[in-house]
Amino acid sequence: MYQVIQTGVSRCGVSRPRLTCNDSTFHPVLNLAEHLKISQHDDNNPRILITGGLGQLGLGLASELRQKYGKNNVILSDIIKPNKEIVDNGPYIYADILDFKNLQELIVNHRIDWMIHFSALLSAIGESNVPLAMRVNIEGMHNVMELAKQYKLKLFVPSTIGAFGPTSPRNPTPDLTIQRPQTIYGVSKVHAELMGEYYHHRFGLDFRCLRFPGIISAGTEPGGGTTDYACQIFHDALTTGHHVCFLREDSRLPMMYIDDCLRSVMEILEVPAEKLKLRTYNIHAMSFTPAEIYAAVKKVIPSLTIEYKPDSRQGIADTWPMVFDDSGARKDWGWNHEIDIDELVKIMLTYLAPKYGKTLPF
C-alpha cells in the first residue's frame, strides 16, 4: 500500500524519504484534516498557511500568529516529519512547494486567505546544490505566487541582505539600488521581489516582502546560511569555550534577533495597503563584525576564545551589505527594532545557559 519515494530536501539539503499511498480510498489531505480537526477554523480571522515552516523562522511565527488569529487558523507546513510537540501545538501538514496540485488542494480545502512563504535553500546550502536551489527557490516560488494570484491570497515572501551584490552600495544599502547578487540564493530572491511586484501591479496581488538581515535565534537552528556563525558562537561560548569562525574578524553584516524579525512580519501583514509606498522594504536592527560579537560575548564569558578560519562563505559575505538603510520602513509603516547587540547577548545566553547546565553572572 505504501511506497517510499525521494522528495525535496531537509533544511541541511539532504534528500528525505517520504511515504506515499497507492490505495485510492486513502485521501491524505482529508484524513489528516479530520485527524487534526483543522477544518474547525476559529471565527472570522484570516486562515494562514506557512510553507517551509519547520526552519529557523516558521515555528516562532506560527506561535505569534496563533496567539493573534487563533490556533486552528494557522497551518504550518513543510516536507519534514514533525515531532510530537509541533503537532500538539497546532495544525501541521505535509506540503512540498514543488507540487502545485497538492498546494492548490490545501488552499481550497482549508480556505486559506494568507500565505507566508518561507521554503527556501539559504545562501551556503544553495551554492552546494544550485539545481535544487533553482527548483525550490524559483520554481516553488512561482507555484506559490500563481496560486496566491488565482485564489486572491495575501502573500508574504521574505527577501534578504543576500539580494544585493558587490556593485550595490554596502554601507548603507538603500531600498532601491543596484542588485546584482552573486549567489543563486540572492538571484532567486531578487527574482521573487520582482515577480511579486509585477504580480501586484499587473494582477493586484497583495504581495508584501521584507528584506531580513541575518536572523539570530536560540530556540531554532539556522538553515545553512552565511550568517550562521552569529548563532553558533553562543553555543560554543557555553560548551567548548572556543569558537572557530568561518568569516574574517572584520566582516560586517546586518543582523537581527528573531523576536524583532517575527514582529516585523506580524506588522507588515497588517499595514493598510495605502501606507505601503513599496512592496519590498529593507529592515534593520544592528550591524556587527565577528570581532565585535566576540567582544560582546566575552564581556559575559571572559574565558571564550576565537580563531578565524574563513571558508567559501567569506566570498559571499564580502558581497553583501554591511548596514541596511531601512528609513523607508520606519517612515511608511513605523518599523522600529527593539534589540541591539548587548541585549541580544543577554537574551541568547540567558536562553541557552540552562540547556548546557551553566549559570551566568547576571
Ligand X SMILES: C[C@@H](O)[C@H](N)C(=O)O
Q: Which residues are catalytic?
A: 185
Of positions 126, 214, 254, 328, contacts ligand NAD by CB under 6 A: 214
DSSP for 256-303? EEHHHHHHHHHHHHHS-GGG-S-SEEE---EEE-HHHHHHHHHTT-TT
Site string for ligand X, 167-186 (x = CB under 6 A): ------------------x-
58 binds ligand NAD, rule: CB under 6 A: yes
β-partners of residue 286 are 255
* Dihedral in degrees, nearest 10, Cα atoms 324, 155, 69, 258: -30
Single out the residue of 56, 102, 143, 251 in contact with ligand NAD (rule: CB under 6 A): 56
Q: Which of 158, 181, 290, 321 binds ligand NAD (CB under 6 A)?
A: 158
Which position's Cβ is nearest ligand NAD? 55
Helix axes 100-109, 28-36, angle to 10 degrees: 40
d(CA 163, CA 28): 37
**Residue 226 sits in the site that holds ligand X (CB under 6 A):** yes
CB 282 within 8 A of CB 329: yes
Determine if 162 is a binding residue for ligand X (CB under 6 A).
Answer: yes
Answer yes or no: are the C-beta atoms of 246 and 310 closer than 8 Å. Answer: yes
Beta strands in the chain (DSSP E): 2-7, 16-21, 48-51, 74-78, 92-94, 114-117, 154-156, 159-160, 206-212, 214-216, 242-245, 253-257, 280-282, 286-288, 305-308
Q: Verify binding: residue 80, ligand NAD, rule CB under 6 A.
A: yes
Nearer to ligand X, 123 or 137 (CB): 123
Q: Of the ranges 109-117, 219-227, 244-252, 297-305, which one interacts with ligand X (CB under 6 A)? A: 219-227
Contact of residue 58 among ligand NAD, ligand X, none (CB under 5-8 Å per partner type): ligand NAD
Binding partner at 290 among ligand X, ligand NAD, none, C-beta below 5 to 8 Å by kind: none
Written as nine digits, the cell of 308 is 578565524
123 binds, among ligand X, ligand NAD, none (CB under 5 to 8 A by kind): ligand X
Rg from Cα positions in the chain:
20
Residue 198, classified by CB atoms within 10 Å of its CB into exposed (0-12), middle (13-18) or buried (19+), is middle
Residue 136 contacts ligand NAD per CB under 6 A: yes
The count of residues interacting with ligand NAD (CB under 6 A) is: 32
Contact pattern from residue 94 through residue 133 relative to ligand X, giving x for each residue in contact according to CB under 6 A and a dash for the rest: ----------------------------xx----------
Binding segment (CB under 6 A) for ligand X, from list 65-73, 85-93, 222-230, 287-295: 222-230
Q: Name the pairing type of β-strands 16-21 and 2-7.
A: antiparallel
Please report whether residue 160 would count as binding ligand X according to CB under 6 A. yes
Look at residue 168 and give the partner it binds from ligand NAD, ligand X, none, a contact being a CB closer than 5 to 8 Å depending on partner kind: none
Contact assessment for residue 77 and residue 92, using Cβ atoms and an 8 Å cutoff: yes
Counting residues that bind ligand X (by CB under 6 A) gives: 10
Position 209 contacts ligand X (CB under 6 A): no
When binding is defined by CB under 6 A, the residue of 227, 251, 264, 319 that contacts ligand X is 227
Contact 20, 2 (CB under 8 A): yes
What number of H helices and E strands is found in the chain?
14, 15
Nearer to ligand X among residue 94 and residue 164 (C-beta): 164
79 contributes a contact to ligand NAD by CB under 6 A: yes
Q: Using CA atoms, how far apart are residues 257 and 213, in angstroms rounded to an integer?
A: 9
Binding site residues, ligand X, CB under 6 A: 122-123, 160-162, 185, 214, 225-227
